[in-house]
Amino acid sequence: VFVSVAVPVPQLDLLTYAVPEGVRPPAIGARVVVPLGTRAVTGIVVDSRETAGPDVSPDLIKPLKQILDDRPFVPSDVVELAQWTAEYYGAGAGATIVAVLPPKTRGNRADAHKTERVVTATPAGLASLASAAAPGAERKRGSTANVALQLLSRAPDGLRAADLKSHGVSAGVVARLSKLGYVSIARARVERDPFAGSAATLRTSPDLKAGPTYREVVGRRLTEEQTCALSRLRELARSGRFHVAVLHGVTGSGKTEVYVRLAADVRQSGRQVLMLVPEIALTPAVATIFREAFGDRVAIQHSGLSDGERHDQWQRIRNGDVDLVIGTRSAVFAPCERVGLIVVDEEHDASYKQEETPRYHARDVAIVRGQKAGALVVLGSATPALESYANALSGKYDRVTMMRRILDRPLPAVTVVDMRGEFAAEGPDVILSRRLREALELRIERREQAIVLLNRRGFATAVFCRQCAGTLDCPNCSVSLVVHGQEASRRARCHYCNFSMRIPAACPTCAGPYLEQTGYGTQRVEDEVRRLLPAARVARLDRDAVRRKGSLSSLLTRFRDGEIDVLVGTQMMAKGHDFPRVTLVGVISADVGLGMADFRASERTFQLLTQVAGRAGRGDEPGEAVIQTLYPEHYSIQLACRQDYPAFYHRELTFRRAMRYPPFVSLVNITVRAKTMSAALRDAEAIADRLRAADESQDSYRVLGPAPAALARLRGEYRSQILVKATKSARRMACAQVVETVSALPGVARRTTVDVDPLSVL
DNA sequence: AGCACGCCGACT
DNA sequence: GTCGGCGTGCTC
């Protein structure tokens, strides 16, 4: 008997092993220890059959070393789901099984977004550095390893592996040093820098008193719309068959109340509930309500848990000790065996897409899981993703709408301020318009609260030289440095590799003395609000503030308790919070993001504006929003102001159809990294040529590029890009073709990432 | 991801 | 020659 085993090695696909004579074959989903090259690893059995199959030559096959479980460790339907994920996203079984297994079995590897490897020099390492500095040891001096030790000797708290990489120290070098005992590697919860609020990473416990309690929620009578929605969803859930429903409910319409009651109903019927949220720390109210409703029959997965705690939660779920799992995207693989309902809350949120291999979208995996389990999948949002809404309109999904707020509270009144007029009247340096200033003053006077959004971190966007017109750029990445920090300690920082430097007195290029800081971010706005409203208590909520203060939850609690009057921040503030005393939302530069060439720029802007405006007027007092922009006529701004989702949907769909973008085509984005741009382009060209040749007659997909990527250099590497556009029916074939083509080019494969259904093509 | 192999420049 | 660094290929 032969078994296919998924081993936790990213690059590897399924491997075939022989079950020794007289040994009972392991169950699908069981853990087995197998030989792999010179080492032994623990893998998961995915398939079992009598013959080895033609794809592997018999003399390669080795026997299993050990069978660890006599029943499935990973439930068989989760094994199946993992295989689907690997296939769909072209990720390889190895990379995918790593995402599915609990952290302990992944070999000390927690959710990679939340922790990072921190490298510290050991005494032995420092000693070797000293001896290397002595005469006669020249050889080592310029080596990468030596550079690494030099850097580490100046960083007693250690450096992140990613930081070392940006100085040209690869993971391999670090591994070697670690083996020599010169450095130690630890996993620490350190903020990873790239990709702004999308994957907001916070380590707060979700049990703060935010939002209404369970008693309040369940004690409240549902509105007519809620009752309607609930009964429709109940009906779908009770059918015991697979359904997807888009729950389109405006901000404040009470979607959570519907989820809780629906979940309770499903639990009653003996099936389990999977509740996916974008980020638990950002939606503490939802987590609290479910915990109160389900008591100890709920498992909460959040980034504040240690590996051990996560592992315990995983075991509890696997043992069937919980009825409801609430967690972020990886919870879609929770080892439940009788799922009856999967809720994807804020389904449009970008954090459902994993931005590293396997690059899956948890909403889409959830739908497949629901299909396999015969479960109801509810996609909830005030601003559904275009793809989801299209499926709802076509009848593929059910559509359930809630267009009114609870207690018939009005949606906020929205005003647009054209900043071109404002500049003409007030000068070019104005940040807060007269309209917004007045509105803020009024809130302070009335002791109400306000939120001010600017989706851009830092103090100034760039350091600009008036003499040579150059900017201060990152030495490792093709971006300009962003100014951060308080006046005395202000530094220029790269948002991608974390490089930072003191701001020089003269231009490093032309030595000109006229360096100017241009553009502004949340830090500058915070200062400005303080200056204009001396009586107001002002705080800032963005990734930097949360990192420094160490805790998002305390900030949110203080705001909720009324200890803060004005909260300035990035899109972090826009996610599902319920702040009843907020009656004003101001948006500075609503067009941040519209300037990007990405095909989703309009959709993102519309979603962000609608969501943030929705933070206002959730209590007894009505809310208002003031949106400042340079493009007041842009449709995503106009329609967000009118909170007219259907109109936006139709408008945007027209654009997507004309430009051949999703949901009309499927995209596959291929990025190739290399030491020089010409090498990156050359390798990408090889891939593109093969792809084009493979398609010659059918015309079922188009290959665009290669071209230098929008971020042409990142962490010292050059990047080129190919975009494949496939018709819906050719998607599968095109993906397979891409995977095959890339893996046929050995050296290149390692430096290539394939992103199926990318959220962004930049 | 690891780990072995093999090439290459710098040294006794 | 020998040593260590670093790029490349392979893992059933």
Predicted pLDDT of residue A25: 96
Q: Give the model's confidence band at A577: pLDDT under 50 very low, under 70 low, under 90 confident, else very high.
A: confident
- Amino acid (one-letter) located at A346: E
**Could you read off the pLDDT of A521-569 as tens digits, one per residue?**
999 999 999 999 999 999 999 999 887 655 787 888 899 999 999 999 9
Which residues fall within 8 angstroms of residue A633, CB to CB, at 6 or more apart?
none
Distance A503 CA to B2 C1' (A): 41
**Could you read off the pLDDT of A745-754 as tens digits, one per residue?**
878 888 999 9
Is the predicted pLDDT of residue A646 greater than 50, yes or no?
Answer: yes
Q: Give the model's confidence band at A318: pLDDT under 50 very low, under 70 low, under 90 confident, else very high.
A: very high
More confidently predicted of A706 and A695: A706
More confidently predicted of A220 and A640: A640
Nucleotides of C under 7 A from a protein CB: 4-12
CA separation, residue A6 to residues A13, A17, A573, A738 (Å): 7, 11, 40, 22
Predicted pLDDT of residue A145: 72
Predicted pLDDT of residue A152: 75
Q: Give the model's confidence band at A198: pLDDT under 50 very low, under 70 low, under 90 confident, else very high.
A: very low
Whether the ω angle into residue A504 lies within 30 degrees of 0, i.e. cis, is no
> To which H or E segment does residue A268 belong?
helix A255-268
CA distance A516 to A504: 11
DSSP category for residue A504: P
Distance A139 CA to B8 C1' (A): 14
Mean pLDDT of A94-117: 61
**Could you read off the pLDDT of A336-390 as tens digits, one per residue?**
999 999 999 999 999 999 999 999 999 999 999 999 999 999 999 999 999 999 9
Do residues A27 and A3 touch, judged by C-beta distance below 8 A? no
Q: Give the model's confidence band at A694: pLDDT under 50 very low, under 70 low, under 90 confident, else very high.
A: confident
More confidently predicted of A651 and A53: A651
The residue that minimises its CA distance to C1' of B1 is A9
Alpha helices in A374-506 (DSSP H): 386-394, 419-426, 434-446
| Range of lowest pLDDT (A29-43, A164-178, A206-220) | A206-220
Which nucleotide has the least CA–C1' distance to A175? B2
Distance A148 CA to B8 C1' (A): 22
Predicted pLDDT of residue A352: 96
Mean pLDDT of A50-66: 90
CA distance A82 to A252: 36
Q: Give the residues across from A538 on adjacent strands.
A: A566
- Amino acid (one-letter) located at A164: L
Give me the phi and psi of A22, to 5 degrees please: 80, 0
Distance A88 CA to C6 C1' (A): 35
Do residues A523 and A465 touch, judged by C-beta distance below 8 A? no
The residue that minimises its CA distance to C1' of B10 is A139
The residue that minimises its CA distance to C1' of B3 is A38
User: Which pair of structure tokens corresponds to residue A387?
Assistant: 């793809």
Distance A28 CA to C7 C1' (A): 39
CA dihedral sign of residues A537, A542, A548, A549 = positive
Distance A137 CA to C2 C1' (A): 15
Distance A606 CA to C9 C1' (A): 48
Average pLDDT over chain A, rounded to an integer:
87
Mean pLDDT of A177-186: 71
Q: Give the model's confidence band at A761: pLDDT under 50 very low, under 70 low, under 90 confident, else very high.
A: very high
Tell me, rounded to whole angstroms, the distance of Cα A568 from its chain centroid: 22
| Range of lowest pLDDT (A129-133, A161-165, A457-461) | A129-133
Which nucleotide has the least CA–C1' distance to A15? C12
**Could you read off the pLDDT of A581-624 as tens digits, one per residue?**
999 999 999 999 998 889 999 999 999 999 999 999 999 999 99
Identity of the highest mean pLDDT range in A16-20, A109-113, A498-502: A16-20
3-state secondary structure A637-682: HHHHHCCCHHHHHHHHHHHHHHHCCCCCCEEEEEEEEECCHHHHHH
Predicted pLDDT of residue A14: 95
Q: Which of A664, A671, A760, A660 is nearest to A713 (CA)?
A: A671
Q: Which of A32, A102, A99, A69 is nearest to A316 (CA)?
A: A102
Q: Which of A157, A346, A174 is nearest to A251 (CA)?
A: A346
Distance A165 CA to B12 C1' (A): 34
CA distance A75 to A373: 12
CA dihedral A136, A137, A141, A143 (to 10 degrees): 140
Distance A152 CA to C6 C1' (A): 21
Predicted pLDDT of residue A671: 94
CA distance A161 to A549: 23
Predicted pLDDT of residue A548: 63
| Range of lowest pLDDT (A131-145, A159-173, A455-469) | A131-145
Whether the ω angle into residue A632 lies within 30 degrees of 0, i.e. cis, is no
Q: Which of A515, A518, A511 is nearest to A503 (CA)?
A: A515
Distance A746 CA to C9 C1' (A): 8
DSSP A526-550: HHHHHHH-TTS-EEEESHHHHHHHS
Which residues fall within 8 angstroms of residue A427, CB to CB, at 6 or more apart?
none
The residue that minimises its CA distance to C1' of C8 is A747
**A566-569 and A449-453 strand pairing:** parallel
User: Which pair of structure tokens corresponds to residue A701?
Assistant: 């997909």
Q: What share of chain A has pLDDT > 70, as a percent?
A: 87
**Could you read off the pLDDT of A67-85 as tens digits, one per residue?**
999 999 999 999 999 999 9
The residue that minimises its CA distance to C1' of B12 is A136
Predicted pLDDT of residue A341: 98
Q: Using a 7 A cutoff on CB, list residues near strand B.
A: A 9-12, 37-39, 107, 136, 138-139, 171-172, 175, 179
Predicted pLDDT of residue A155: 66
Is the predicted pLDDT of residue A630 greater than 60, yes or no?
Answer: yes
On the 0-12 / 13-18 / 19+ scale of CB atoms within 10 A, A232 is middle
Is the predicted pLDDT of residue A307 greater than 50, yes or no?
Answer: yes
CA distance A377 to A397: 10
Q: Give the model's confidence band at A503: pLDDT under 50 very low, under 70 low, under 90 confident, else very high.
A: very high
Which residues fall within 8 angstroms of residue A318, CB to CB, at 6 or more apart?
A73, A75, A335
Q: How many CB atoms lie within 10 A of CB A392?
A: 22
Is the predicted pLDDT of residue A36 greater than 70, yes or no?
Answer: yes
Mean pLDDT of A649-666: 96
CA distance A602 to A637: 9
CA distance A46 to A692: 34
More confidently predicted of A663 and A595: A663
Predicted pLDDT of residue A635: 96
Mean pLDDT of A683-697: 86
CA distance A311 to A302: 12
Do residues A171 and A193 touch, judged by C-beta distance below 8 A? no
**Could you read off the pLDDT of A248-268 as tens digits, one per residue?**
999 999 999 999 999 999 999
Distance A125 CA to C5 C1' (A): 17
More confidently predicted of A163 and A527: A527
More confidently predicted of A199 and A737: A737
3-state secondary structure A319-387: CCCCCEEEECHHHHHCCCCCEEEEEEECCCCHHHECCCCCCCEHHHHHHHHHHHHCCEEEEEECCCCHH
Residue position matching structure tokens 């397979």: A736
The residue that minimises its CA distance to C1' of B9 is A139
Predicted pLDDT of residue A214: 64
Q: Using a 7 A cutoff on CB, list residues near strand C.
A: A 9, 11-12, 15-18, 34-37, 56, 60-62, 139-140, 143-145, 170, 172-173, 176, 746-747
The residue that minimises its CA distance to C1' of C5 is A143
Q: Strand, helix or coil at A96?
A: helix
More confidently predicted of A585 and A108: A585
pTM: 0.86
Which nucleotide has the least CA–C1' distance to A137? B11
DSSP category for residue A465: E
Q: Give the residues across from A33 on adjacent strands.
A: A42, A66
**Could you read off the pLDDT of A406-458 as tens digits, one per residue?**
999 999 999 999 999 999 999 989 999 999 999 999 999 999 999 999 999 99
Q: Which of A647, A588, A630, A593 is nearest to A612 (CA)?
A: A588
User: Which pair of structure tokens corresponds to residue A472?
Assistant: 């201060």
**A183-188 and A339-345 strand pairing:** unpaired
Mean pLDDT of A710-721: 91
Predicted pLDDT of residue A218: 67
On the 0-12 / 13-18 / 19+ scale of CB atoms within 10 A, A295 is exposed
Do residues A554 and A211 touch, judged by C-beta distance below 8 A? no
